[in-house]
A and B are shown apart, each in its own frame.
Chain A
Amino acid sequence: MFSPVRLRLARQRRALTLTKLADLSGVSLRSLSNYENNAIEQPTEESLRKLAETLGVRPDYFYRDEVDPVAVEAVSFRKLSKTSASKRDAALASATLALEFFGIVDRHFRLPEPSIPTFDKLAPDQGAELVRQRWGLGDRPITNMVHLLESKGVRVVSLGPHHSDIDAFCFYRDAVPYVFVNTMKSGERQRFDIAHELGHLVMHDERDMTPSDSRDREAEANAFAAAFLMPASGLHAQALWGASLQKITAAKRHWKVSAMAMSHRLHELGLLNDWQYRSTVVALSKAGYRSSEPGGMVPETSQLLRKVMFGPTGISLGTVATELAVSAHDLGSLVHGLVPVAA
C-alpha cells in the first residue's frame, strides 16, 4: 500500500514544497497533492520512479510499513521563532528517519536503558544539582556529555550539515529520549546544547511544547545547562571572583564550556560584578569568542554509534540504508560529526 506519509516525509527531508517537487520530478502538482493527501489516486510506476529519484529513496520506500512522524508539539526547539517552517519540518522528517534507524539498531543490539530522572517541580539549578547527585558526578567537570547521556539511555543524533540554523532539539518516543544536536558548532557549544536538551528532558518530560511558554522553557533549560556544566560549588571552590581573562579561559577549558558561557555563569553567581562582566564580554568579543571558540576543544563523538557501526558485529550504514530503502547519504547525516563516515 502506497504511504502518503512517507512521501511527505521524504519531501520534507529535502525541504521541498509540493510545487518545487513537481518542478524537479516532472510529476504534476495536482497528482502530488493527491498522493500526499491520501486521495484515491495512486502513483504510476513512472511517477514512483521519478519521485524516488528526486527524493533520493528507492521506490519501495513508499510501500514500507507506516511510520508515525515526529510531531512539532512533541519537540523542544531552541529558537523556534527563528527557524522557518520548511527547515523545521526537514529536521523533524530527519528525526523520524532517525527513529527508524534506531529501530534497526535496537533489533541488533542491547542498548542502555533510559534512566533520565524527572524533576519538573524544581528550579533549574536545583534540578541540575540533583541530577548530578543521582548520577554521582560530584561537582567536577563532565568529561564527555555525549557519552554521559548515551550511558543513561539517550540516543544522540546529529542534525547533519544542512541544519546549521537549528541548535538542537529533543523528544521522547516510546519512553526513549532522543537528542538532536548541531555538530557544526564548536565542541563547547555542542556540550551546552546537549546539557540544555537534558534540561528539557529532566524538567519538561513528555509535556507537549506550546509556543506560549516556549520562552520560559528555553530560559529554564539554559539555566539548567549552566548549572549542570558549571556547578556553583565547583566554581566557588576555584577562587574565580573578579576573574581575569586569562583565568576565565583557563576555567572554560577546565569545565569544557565556551568563554562566554563561563563569563555569564560567573556573573550569575556574583563572582563577576556588572562592570567586570561587561568588560569581560567586550574583551572576549574582540578576541573572537562571540562567534567562535579560539583554541577550543575537539568536539565530542558518539561511543554508542561507534560500537554499533564499527564493533566486531557492527552494522554498516549501507546495510541499514538498504533495509530502510533510503540513501546511505541521508543516514550519514544522522551520524555526521558523531562518528567518522565516508565523504
Chain B
Amino acid sequence: MAITQLFLPGSPDDEARLAEYGLSSADFHDAFRPGLSRAVDRTELAPANAAGTDLYNDSFEFLAQILVTRGWRKVVTMGQPRLVHPDGLIQLALSSAIDVADPDHRVKPKTRRKGPATQRSLDNEAPKGLQPLPLPEWVINDTLPPKLNGAPLWLALYERQGNSLNLALGRPAEMNASGHVVAWSDAISIARLDGDDDFSVFNSTDDGGFDVPVEPR
C-alpha cells in the first residue's frame, strides 16, 4: 500500500534504518561522487545523455565495489543490475528520478520510465496481470540461494541539481501507464550530496606507513 509523506528530510532515524541494512549515507556519497564529478565535467560536445550515463554507470559500479566487500552480490534481473544484501534483507537498483527531495512533502518522487524487472518487484498486492506493462516471462539471470530470491526491491533514487545530488531509497509500489514509478510503500532519506561544500572526502585517516626493514648484519 502506497503511503504519502514518506520522503521527509533526512534524520537520525534514516541513518539508523540504513544501518539496519549495513548501509549509510556516506556509502552512497562515496558511490555517487565520482559519477557526479564526471557528469559535471561534461562539456556541450558530449552526447546529450552522457552525464546521465556517467552518473548511473559509475555510481552503480562504485556502489557495487563498496558493497561486495561486505558480502553483497551483484545480480542482473531481466537486464536490471541489482545488488542483493547477503541475508536477503533488501536488493538495490539505481534509478534517476525527479522530486526526490521536494520541500513539499506531499510531492513524491517520480522515476524515469522503468521496465518489467521493476514492475515485477512492485510492493503491492495487485495482480501482476493488471499492471500497465506487459509482463514477459520472469527471468533471473543469476542463480541465487532461495533466501536471496525474495529480497524486496528498493530503488536508490538520485536527482542531479547542478553540482549536487538529492538521494533517497524508496520501495516502489505503483507504476503509472507510462512506466514511471509514482507511489512508494516505504522510503528512507539519504543526506544530500553537495558537490560544492562536501569536504568529507578529505577526512579520511592515513592508511598507515611504510616499513623500512633494516637489520644488523
Contacts and interface: CB of A to CB of B under 8 A. Distances in A.
Which secondary structure characterizes the binding site on chain B?
loop
A242 B41 CA distance: 9
Given A143-B206, A236-B34, A237-B33, A270 B198 contact: no
Interface in B5-22: none
- Of the listed residues A108, A238, A239, A247, the one surrounded by the most CB atoms of chain B closer than 10 A to its CB is A239
B45 interface: no
B44 interface: no
Interface stretch (A47-55, A170-178, A304-312, A331-339): A304-312
Contacts of B208: 143
B209 interface: yes
B37 to A, nearest CB: 5
B65 to A, nearest CB: 11
A101 to B, nearest CB: 15
B41 A270 contact: yes
Nearest to A141: B206
Interface in B22-55: 33-34, 36-38, 40-41
B138 interface: no
Interface string B95-134: 0000000000000000000000000000000000000000
B215 A109 contact: yes
B36 A253 contact: no
A108 to B, nearest CB: 6
A250 B196 CA distance: 13
Contacts of A28: none
A112 interface: yes
Interface residues of A, number: 35
A230 to B, nearest CB: 13
A296 to B, nearest CB: 16
A143 B209 contact: yes
Contacts of A303: 209-212
A270 B207 CA distance: 28
Contact of B210 (A148, A307, A308, A313): A148
- Of the listed residues A237, A250, A270, A307, the one surrounded by the most CB atoms of chain B closer than 10 A to its CB is A237
B165 to A, nearest CB: 10
A112 B213 CA distance: 6
A112 B163 CA distance: 47
A308 B211 CA distance: 14
A316 interface: no
Contacts of B34: 236-237
A111 interface: yes
Given A110-B217, A111-B214, A150-B212, A241 B163 contact: yes
A84 to B, nearest CB: 35
Interface in A221-248: 236-242, 244, 247
B210 A304 contact: no
B210 A238 contact: no
A239 B37 contact: yes
A311 B214 contact: yes
Interface string A45-86: 000000000000000000000000000000000000000000
A140 B214 contact: no
B145 interface: no
B196 A244 contact: yes
A286 interface: no
B201 interface: yes
Interface of B: 33-34, 36-38, 40-41, 163, 195-196, 198-199, 201-202, 204, 206-217
Interface of A: 107-112, 140-141, 143-144, 147-148, 150-151, 236-242, 244, 247, 250-251, 253-254, 270-271, 303-304, 307-308, 311, 313
- Among all A-B residue pairs, the 8 with the closest Cβ atoms: A307-B214, A254-B202, A147-B210, A303-B212, A237-B34, A239-B195, A150-B212, A151-B210
12 contacts: A109-B217, A110-B213, A110-B216, A112-B214, A140-B204, A141-B206, A143-B206, A151-B210, A236-B37, A239-B40, A242-B163, A254-B201
